Structures are given as C-alpha cells and as structure tokens.
Amino acid sequence: KNEVEQSPQNLTAQEGEFITINCSYSVGISALHWLQQHPGGGIVSLFMLSSGKKKHGRLIATINIQEKHSSLHITASHPRDSAVYICAVPTTGGGADGLTFGKGTHLIIQP
Amino acid sequence: DGGITQSPKYLFRKEGQNVTLSCEQNLNHDAMYWYRQDPGQGLRLIYYSQIVNDFQKGDIAEGYSVSREKKESFPLTVTSAQKNPTAFYLCASARMGVDTEAFFGQGTRLTVV
C-alpha cells in the first residue's frame, strides 16, 4: 500500500511570499491529486496530474514520477490562500481501491 | 454540470441514533468511496464500491454500513455502534482507467451530541 508524507505540516508566511508544499509517496502511481480544505471543512480539488507540471492561476503543481515526489507552489501568496492543502495518491497502483491521503499542510498567510 | 453532491454540509445527531449521509454523482462513474477525517489525521477509507450491488470494507468500516442500489448513489449510514462518530466525511467517485481520475464532494461535518 502507498504511504504519503507531506511537508511541512504547518507553514506561516507573509503575504506575497512564494510557497512550496511537498508530497512524497512510496508506490508508483498513475496520478496524484492536490486538494484544498478551508476552515469549515469543504474540500476543493485543485489538480490531478500524472506527469510534468500544471498551472492554474497562482497555483502550480509539479510531479516527478521517478522520484515519487510532487510539489505544490503558490506564487504571490494572499491571505485567502490560507487553508489546509492535501495530497492524495492511489492506495495501490491501479487505484481501484481508493486513495491514500497525506495529513495535510496547514498554511497561514498573514497580511 | 457533472459532479458529486453531498448533503447536508453540517449534521447534528443525538448519541445512539443512526444517521445516513447522502452522496450522489452524475458523472457515470463506476467507483464510489467514503472517507473519514479526524483532526490531525489524513482521510481514511471507510467503504468503497466498484459496481452496483457490490461494496468492500475499507480500513475503518466498523460501525458503518453502505448500500449501492443505483450507480449514482452511495449512502453511508453511521450506526450507533460507531464509538466516535463525530468527524468530517468525504465522498468521492472515480472513473477507472489509465489515469484514475477522482472527483470529490464537499464533505459533511457530523457532530454527535
């Protein structure tokens, strides 16, 4: 079964800073997900990626399949980016039996 | 628009009562999943279903039950046997293939008092 490690667990930064959140996993996968969870609990899917890089607004996600590692970057961070960011990968290679989630990175952006 | 609908977003129940959480999808996905989140922990798999009328236990199935009578619907019942039911519950569905693409509901926060 896959195991997921996210770092850092907590991150506080000033508005405008460049943010990087890391995710490592143990078993080769077909795709990795990045999710955002705001206070109050609602989950939003940010990215699903299987190779290379994806960009959406100020968010950039990269993945290195060989190194089993993904990063989520936030450029020009803003207080509204404050949330928990979670990465998730298939529990087994095929993914039919669901996802394994990281514990999340709690991000606070101060004005 | 296709997606997953979980309802309600917040739910309160008295201890000892069964409660059913709704999850509906119109994505024509075969696979559906229920996860639970506790503070400081990652989401954990409760039950999943890959086809109508069939489902499998996940890592923490005790105290929960599910049904999959229709492809679109995968309700989760939190029974009185679940010792710590207060948690955040997330439903997901997936299109199986080379790139397993999962979609997520917004979640239901259940509080048992």
Closest residue to B31, CB basis, from A30, A96, A103 = A96
Chain A interface test: which of B30, B35, B43 (most A C-beta within 10 Å): B43
Angstroms from A62 CA to nearest CA on chain B: 16
Q: What is the mean pLDDT of chain A?
A: 92
Q: Do B42 and A104 touch (CB under 8 A)?
A: yes
B16-69 pLDDT, tens digit per residue, is 899 999 999 999 999 999 999 998 888 999 999 999 999 999 999 999 999 999
- The pLDDT value recorded for residue A96 is 73
Which pair of tokens denotes residue B62?
């005790």
Which pair of tokens denotes residue B58?
């996940």
Residue A38 sits at the vertex; the CA angle it makes with A32 and A44, to the nearest 5 degrees, is: 40
pLDDT higher at A30 or B20? B20
- The pLDDT value recorded for residue A28 is 81
Q: Do B101 and A31 touch (CB under 8 A)?
A: yes
Percent of chain B with pLDDT over 70: 95
CB under 8 Å to A48, separation ≥6 — which residues? A31, A32, A33, B99, B101, B102
- The pLDDT value recorded for residue B1 is 64
Report chain A residues whose CB lies below 8 A from the CB of B42.
4, 86, 100-104
A55-101 pLDDT, tens digit per residue, is 999 999 999 999 999 999 999 999 999 999 999 998 886 667 889 99
Task: State the Cα–Cα distance between residues B35 and A7, nearest whole angstrom.
Answer: 22
Q: Do A42 and B41 touch (CB under 8 A)?
A: no
What phi and psi, each to the nearest 5 degrees, are found at residue B87? -175, 175
Which pair of tokens denotes residue A52?
């290379």
Cβ–Cβ under 8 Å, residues B78 and B17 = no
